[in-house]
Structure 1
Amino acid sequence: MDTQQNTALTRALAEIPGPLPARGVIHIAIPHTDRFTVVGNHLAQHPDLSCTAVGIAVRIQSLPQGVEVGIKALAARCREGEKRIAAALRELEAFGYLQRVRDRLPSGRTITRTVFCNQPTALLRPRQTASPRRPAVAATHQAPGPAPGPGPAEELTAAPAPAPDPAPDPAPTPPSPSPSPSPSPEPDMPEPPPVPPPPSFVTPLPPLFVPLVPPPTAPKPPPPPLPRPAEPTPELDRAATALLSDLRHHAPQFTLSEADIRHLAPGVAAWLERAAHPDAIRRTLTTDLPHPLRRPALLLKHRLTALLPPPLPGVHDLAAPARPRVTVTPFQTCDGCDRVFRSPTPGHCRDCREHRAHRAHRGDDTRTAAA
């Protein structure tokens, strides 16, 4: 007697037509009369959207025009944090339900408008223009048919005509003029040819929403393969196996199985082939570990692949490049004025050469004048 039962729920279940399902959800559909939003199943049952994104989309769709729907505004209305709301908005933007448009006001200020479309696939369909209907051509002549007789209702409601009283024979009347013959019906007019509908100049619209961020369900590129030594040798394999087996002495989380050690040994051998010190390899693999460490072998494979050092340079790569040889002109002392100048051969400087050339020219002029 102390167990309370919901009689309203029992009565609603009894009013559902047909037998109730043995398992699964049972819907009690009560029509809404006010404060409701129509949501399509393409959004409510979207296979690639998270439940958070679907809930945020329904919340945005239920808000009136002009309400702020930014990350901080939605975080103030919802229980989800800003990171989850931002991820949900990126999902909706990737699938076309949401778009952020930057617009410039007449004052020069740039604002961001958030546009939400409840059915983005409908925007991609070409909109057909309504073609004018061709007026129906009425027939100009109809074949005469039998006159319709009175219906059964008319027969029942029509009163029988009273029998006429016997009357004396009337006086003879002059013959009435014969009715003029009715004009012959015009021949049937041919119907005009059907008017073709006007051509549609509507071109398919380009996609309005271009996803800038790939959706979370987009296929990811395959991970890079584990590095392997260029020249595998038994010594490298033995040293790599010993290093991986000894990791549990430095970090108990790396207690690896024999299959994991055989799988990861080529990666460690590639590091040893590139002259990486075993202590440096061990320190790279065991420091700054995540907590808790769930898959140690996968973490070792990632670090061996992503942090692989380059091979050591050769002797010729470390040698300094040869400088080009520059020919330096030596210093000379002028025989006339003891001035220092640069010249490959000894002799006079430029001023002395010009002075000697000028004196020789004046001497030639003097000899010519004396002659």
Structure 2
Amino acid sequence: MDTQQNTALTRALAEVPGPLPTSGVIHIAIPHTDRFTVVGNHLAQHPDLSCTAVGIAVRIQSLPQGIEIGIKALAARCREGEKRIAAALRELEAFGYLQRVRDRLPSGRVITRTVFCNQPTALLRPRRPAAPQHPAAPAPRPAPAEAPARVPTSAPARAQAPTSAPAQAPAQVPTPGPTPAPAPAPAQVPRSTPAPAPTSPPEPDTPAPPHVPPPPFLAAHPTPLFVPLVPPPTAPKPPPAPLPRPDELTPELDRAATALLSDLRRRTPQLTLSETDVRQLVPGVAAWLERAAHPDAVRRTLTTDLPHPLRHPAKLLKHRLTALLPPPLPGSQDLAVPARPRITVTPFQTCDDCDRAFRSPAPGHCRDCREHRAHRSEATRTAA
């Protein structure tokens, strides 16, 4: 049997403009007439959002106003679990597509509104102030001969506003100065100019969208609500630790530290220091030498495992002298082993009456025999 051909698909492929690619996807774009949602490529091809987050964003964008989009509500609509939906919502909130706004109702109750923006980056751009909208007043229809002199037929529709405004200004607000009279305008047009056919007043190319007032909770916030959230900043870095200094910078320590730093370039050319750098690093090397660090050990610490390329040798040496500073050598008393406390052990004794073993520093009677002797003595005194 031969492979069945889909005639509808073949006909649709024939209508695709241009040559068909030999590999990759082929788009058959059929215009939607109803039940569709416009999704921007900034969301569909977002490099940092997961496919789950993009799908959840498209699902939220397609829902009507007032639909609950919580984690449990979306889990009831989608096949993903609550954990994946919660992670996707956090991603959308981090990039500004989803925003939770706390609003106070007139009754005093505080609620949380969930707002979704299909293009959050557009809210960061400076918005132009909206033009004042005046009620459209019926303007006097000009004569056919005056139409070419005022506004050419090829001019855009917005050029008619300033032409008709001067004619209405004197009637609305009288001003004490001389005002331009619109009467000489017909005189400037030669009579020999052929009058165009009477046409209806030109209309704008695209009708202005109706003014929709913003919701009350958005009007209370003059600043943009959708600010892309960046990851929370890390804690401020603590100031760098100061360069260690010796208890007393003697001339011997100063001379030894200066010689050690100046000699570094002889073995490691990357550690060629200026005189200023040497003077700044001398206290740190002197602190090492004061703590009985051998010069070879200091040199090995400063020259081992250098980064490549080394751009700031003085900063690197300062960091190593500060971060790798050894502790001072302990004294003889610190190294002495403390004496262990002597534990006194009470020896065993044998009771003189019952031969029972008991612990006591001196021989005698056990506890039971002592109690028995005391009870017997008390009975004897009572009887007497």
Q: TM-score, structure 2 length as denominator?
A: 0.42
Q: TM-score, structure 1 length as denominator?
A: 0.43
- In terms of Rg, which structure is larger? 1
